A and B are shown apart, each in its own frame.
Chain A
Amino acid sequence: MSSNLTLRAGVLSFVLFALFIAAWHIATRQIGAVANMDPEYAKLMGLTATTGKSAMPGPFDVAAKIWEHLKNPFYDRGPNDKGLGIQLAYSVGRVMLGYFIAVCVAIPTGFVIGMSPLMNKALNPFIQLMKPISPLAWMPLALYTIKDSAVSAIFVIFICSLWPMLINTAFGVASVRKEWLNVARTLEVRPLRKAFTVILPAAAPTILTGMRISIGIAWLVIVAAEMLVGGTGIGYFVWNEWNNLSIVNVIISILVIGLVGMLLDQALARVARFVTYPD
């Protein structure tokens, strides 16, 4: 029954995908009338203007371009033109670094906030204020104070992926069952040991959920940050292709960004499965 369901779902997914591609193909076929132009003039104009080709690329244009990128993902033609693979590596590297620093800060701080109601109350207004700030609002401030665009991008990742982890850790730690803490107390467990052997395993699923939300946010932010700062990364790639009005490459970047974001999320989901426990 279950395999039957998987099969049916697979078929339905495929049909939906095929329908989407077909609709896309039909929508982007040549529709405009071919303008009557002097050949000398037409030579100076683009295909959109001369043949009435839609400015939106069709699915086959995109597929061909994807193949081109896949054939050679790591080329390096100077500081402003690198392969898609290299750009992705830059972005993932930045995200990992900023995210890792955020983990190192958020989890210990979250523990402190979760274990102490006083800290919780005292820090809450700050967290609530900082949490909704858009990543790009930080950018000019970071560029101005840090005076280094690479570090600024990492800082923006850090500051934006911090809050969900912090809040979730604090919440997870604060909502560890009273009975377990009482057992620990009757056994006279030292605070540090209590934190690692009782609270951490109990709060782990909540913490992991926070980490999953954060990695999603970090990946969202990096694209925007790189578009703003330029230089390297998938965000820069999108910007550079926008500059050339190359919608094909923009669509490919969107696909790739989605794919990598999904992989990052799935990786953390796997980790989360390890730490969940039956109640």
Chain B
Amino acid sequence: MFKNPFDHRNRLSRSCACGQHASQGEHEAALRAQSAEIATNTEATYENLVAETVLRQMFPVDAHRRAFLNKLGASTAAAAISSFFPLATATEVFAQASALEKKDLKVGFIPITCATPIIMAAPLGFYVKHGLNVEVNKAAGWAVIRDKTINKEYDAAHMLSPMPLAITMGVGANAIPYTMPAVENINGQAITLAMKHKDKRDPKQWKGFKLAVPFDYSMHNYLLRYYLAENGIDPDTDVQIRAVPPPEMVANLRADNIDGFLAPDPVNQRAVYDGVGFIHLLSKQIWDRHPCCGFAASQEFVKQNPNTYAALLKSIIDATAYASKAENRKEIAEAISPANYLNQPVTVVEQVLTGTFADGLGNVVKAADRIDFDPFPYESFAIWILSQMKRWGQIKGDVDYQKIAKQVYLATDTTKLMKEVGLTPPTTTTKTFSVMGKTFDPSKPEDYISSFAIKRT
């Protein structure tokens, strides 16, 4: 299937990406045919392909290569090259990379900026780079994305970081072992209030408010409850917290149905953009570098398709690293704003990602870390989430915090793959952090829960 590159009669023209075809279209058609063949074909195929690539790098001008081969003869040339370039090793590596169990994948997402790495990996080519053909599908809500992933319509999905924990424990769903090998974003949420409340900046004045969060099992819910409780407002009796899907939040705020929300972006910025609300507080002011959304897959998928899973996770980690660089944010905002992805005005997404934004009260705020991206799923994040689930009565009885955290947040896998894509993972899988100035010790979650005045246990 590949022309022998060591044969001087063959012409390696450069009219498509690989140089074998007259046009890019032909090249893609051939690639598709190849990928089917590759599985059954022999090592020789890879050898030729790798050798061809090496040769082309050495002799960008085709005539030179042919002259070189003419003089030396094909076998001598191959030996000469392999003396300084390990052709055999390169071939092996190439063969390994293509041993994916499944190449065509469907990944679900909710149209919010938390899903940035998952979404942008499609238009910016991170999936293709790791040999995958991923279709990113927009889902209508968290319950739907959960059901579609459980039904295997999606191979993997964007989820709120507490969701894989809840699914694994069977809270609000049937118990199915789930994994969350990567966090998508850290920070990036905000409390937005209706314009009429612009003088009520103290949460103590919020009694009787109707507030919205995207889902019951979300960081938003736990952060809002935490924030209210620290300010002496009981989130169950003094205010009403309801789950409203993100796209409906701005419409509800405009209709005066709710007084505010703790929501993912671009919802907050969109409320400001349309003049219906103002940003009261960024979530980083509650807990700086808190996790929000994650990339999740069922344990079954991970076990059945280990190579595909690794490639997929590498694409995500790669994309996350790219997204964490401030200089790339504008390009990303443009890539993910169209109707196929977030379906928002570019200005709105750009304000969220760059951190230079209008707050709705007439000020331009600069907060470069309004949202950031860091894939590492610290087990202590899971433990904190579990502690809040227990604090608010979503789970009852004894909880084996460490075990569930380890089982769901695959920190060791992430460590390994981060190294493979050339990043430096953290050395420990837990860390202590503080939420609103109160330190959390992941080894004593029960003590942490009982230290709160407002709780449901």
Instruction: Give chain A's interface residues, CB within 8 Å of chain B.
Output: 37-38, 40-41, 43-46, 48-49, 55, 77-81, 140, 143-144, 147-149, 227-231, 236, 239-245
Given contacts A38-B362, A41-B358, A143-B147, contact A46 B345 (CB under 8 A): yes
Interface string of B250-281 (1 = CB under 8 A from A): 11001000000000000000101111000000
8 intermolecular pairs with C-beta atoms under 8 Å apart = A41-B362, A41-B364, A49-B275, A80-B341, A143-B144, A229-B140, A243-B247, A244-B343
Known: A144-B147, A230-B144. A41 touches B275 (CB 8 A): no
Which residue on chain A has the smallest CB distance to residue B348? A46
* 20 additional contacts (CB under 8 A) given A44-B347, A80-B136, A143-B151: A41-B362, A43-B347, A44-B351, A44-B357, A44-B358, A45-B273, A48-B274, A79-B136, A80-B137, A81-B339, A148-B151, A148-B153, A228-B144, A229-B144, A236-B140, A239-B140, A240-B339, A242-B247, A243-B247, A244-B339
Taking a contact as CB atoms under 8 Å apart, the answer to whether B111 and A231 are in contact is no
- The smallest C-beta distance from A36 to any residue of chain B, in angstroms, reads 9
Q: Is A45 a contact of B275 with CB atoms below 8 Å? A: yes
Instruction: Using CB atoms, name the residue of chain A closest to B270.
Output: A245
- A residues in contact with B351, CB < 8 Å: 44
B248 within 8 A of A: yes
Residues of A within 8 A of B144 (CB): 143, 149, 228-230
B138 within 8 A of partner (CB): yes
Q: Which residue of B lies closest to A243 (CB)?
A: B247
Given contacts A45-B358, A49-B274, A242-B251, contact A77 B364 (CB under 8 A): no
- B228, CB-defined interface residue at 8 Å: no
Q: Which residue of A lies closest to B112 (CB)?
A: A243
Q: Which residues of B contact A79 (CB under 8 A)?
A: 135-138, 340
Interface residues on B, range: 35 or more
Q: Which residues of A contact B338 (CB under 8 A)?
A: 77, 81
Q: Type the 1/0 row for B129-166, where 1 means its CB is closer than 8 Å to any CB of A.
A: 00000011111110110011011110000000000000
Residue of A nearest to B153 (CB): A149
B153 CB to closest chain A CB, in angstroms? 6
Residues 216 to 261 of chain B near chain A (Cβ within 8 Å): 247-248, 250-251, 254
Residues of A within 8 A of B152 (CB): 147
Q: A46 near B140 (CB under 8 angstroms)?
A: no
Binding site for A on B (CB under 8 A): 111, 135-141, 143-144, 147-148, 150-153, 247-248, 250-251, 254, 270, 272-275, 338-341, 343-345, 347, 351, 357-358, 362-364
Alpha-carbon separation in the docked complex, A243 to B270 (Å): 10
- Determine the chain A residues whose CB is within 8 A of the CB of B272 once the complex forms: 45, 49
**Which of A37, A38, A80, A244 is the one whose CB lies under 8 Å from B344?**
A244
Shortest Cβ distance from residue B332 to the other chain A in the assembled complex, whole angstroms: 17
B274 and A245: CB pair below 8 A?
A: yes
CB distance from B113 to the nearest CB of A (A): 13
Contacts of B135 in A (CB 8 A): 79
Q: Give chain B residues whose Cβ lies under 8 Å from the Cβ of A48.
A: 274-275
Q: Is the CB of A37 within 8 A of B362?
A: yes
Q: In the complex, A231→B147 CA distance in Å?
A: 14
Chain A residues whose C-beta falls within 8 Å of the C-beta of B139 in the assembled complex:
230
| Inter-subunit contact B251/A81 (CB<8 Å) | no
A225 to B148, CA, bound (A): 15
State the Cβ distance, B49 to closest chain A Cβ, in Å: 30
* Cα of A43 to Cα of B364 in the assembled complex, Å: 10
Q: How far is the CA of A47 from the CA of B248 in the complex (A)?
A: 20
In the assembled complex, how far is the CB of residue A235 from the closest CB belonging to chain B, in whole angstroms? 9
Partner of A78, one of B148, B275, B340: B340
Smallest beta-carbon distance B330→chain A, Å = 14
Most buried by B among A44, A81, A144: A44
